[in-house]
Amino acid sequence: MYNKLQYISQGKTIEEQLYNIHQALDAGCDWIQMRFKNQTAKNTFALAEAVKFLCEEYLANFIVNDNLYLAQQIAADGVHLGLTDMKIDQARAILGNTKIIGGTANTFEDIKNHAKNGCDYIGLGPFRFTETKEKLSPILGLSGYFRIIEELKKHNIQIPVYAIGGITLKDISPLMETGIHGIAISGMVTKSEEKEKLIQQLNEKLYANVIV
């Protein structure tokens, strides 16, 4: 089963991205999504190669945002695709069954379709407003997660769901009570001055009810 915390990278340059990703790995993040927007193919490839190398060193999962062909080219662990990116079934046909394919959802219908098309996990959001992403889908709030997870249970659809969007430490416990699997975070981890402490606190909350 997938880890419950995914870090989504930030940074306007290759150097900034690498710094942030390295810091997150050092602090204990073991799942990185490289999100590097509006860049040349050359820059994105150069960063992806460096991140792949780093993640191998830290034994972390490494997925690429948006770009399936880049994920394939550098043999990343997978890709995260949004509602306007490549379709999940097409991506599955290209990547095969060994790679992770994550899909964005804002509604129950989105999740139902993704699950049917071979998606491995869902990034469901946004939970609340965030400056990290432009053109946000409608905000779900806690009640949105409760409603959608209940609907999934009713239809017996089983797929790990990650909450995303403006999440802070105090949101984790109430979000986990909705029945989600984990969270995807960008800003809070990037901005933290005490990343190791933060990751530990996040993991304590995320794994509070896991029996080993």
Ligand X SMILES: Cc1ncc(COP(=O)(O)OP(=O)(O)O)c(N)n1
Work out which of 63, 66, 130, 163 binds Mg ion, going by CB under 5 A.
66
Q: For ligand X, which is the closer residue by CB, 12 or 197?
A: 12
Residues in contact with ligand X by CB under 6 A are: 6, 8, 33, 35, 65-66, 80, 82-83, 85, 102, 104, 123, 133, 162, 164, 184
Is position 44 an interface residue for ligand TZP (rule: CB under 6 A)?
Answer: no
Q: With respect to ligand X, which residue has the nearer C-beta, 114 or 205?
A: 114
Minimum CB separation of residue 122 from ligand X in Å reads: 8
Distance CA 103, CA 173 (A): 23
CB of 66 to Mg ion, least distance (A): 4
Specify the length of the chain in residues: 212
Q: Could you tell me if 166 and 144 are in contact, meaning their C-beta atoms sit under 8 angstroms apart? A: no
177 is in an annotated binding site: no
34 assigned binding-site residue? yes
Token digits of residue 10: 């930030």
Q: Which of 100, 164, 175, 198 binds ligand TZP (CB under 6 A)?
A: 164
Q: Which amino acid is at 162?
A: Y
> CB of 116 within 8 A of CB of 160?
no
Per-residue DSSP letters for 28-94?
T--EEEE---S--HHHHHHHHHHHHHHHHHTT-EEEEES-HHHHHHTT-SEEEE-TTSS-HHHHHHH
Give the whole-angstrom CA distance, residue 31 versus residue 99: 14
CB under 5 to 8 A by kind: which of Mg ion, ligand TZP, ligand X, none does 6 bind? Answer: ligand X
Binding residues: 33-37, 65-66, 85, 104, 130-133, 166
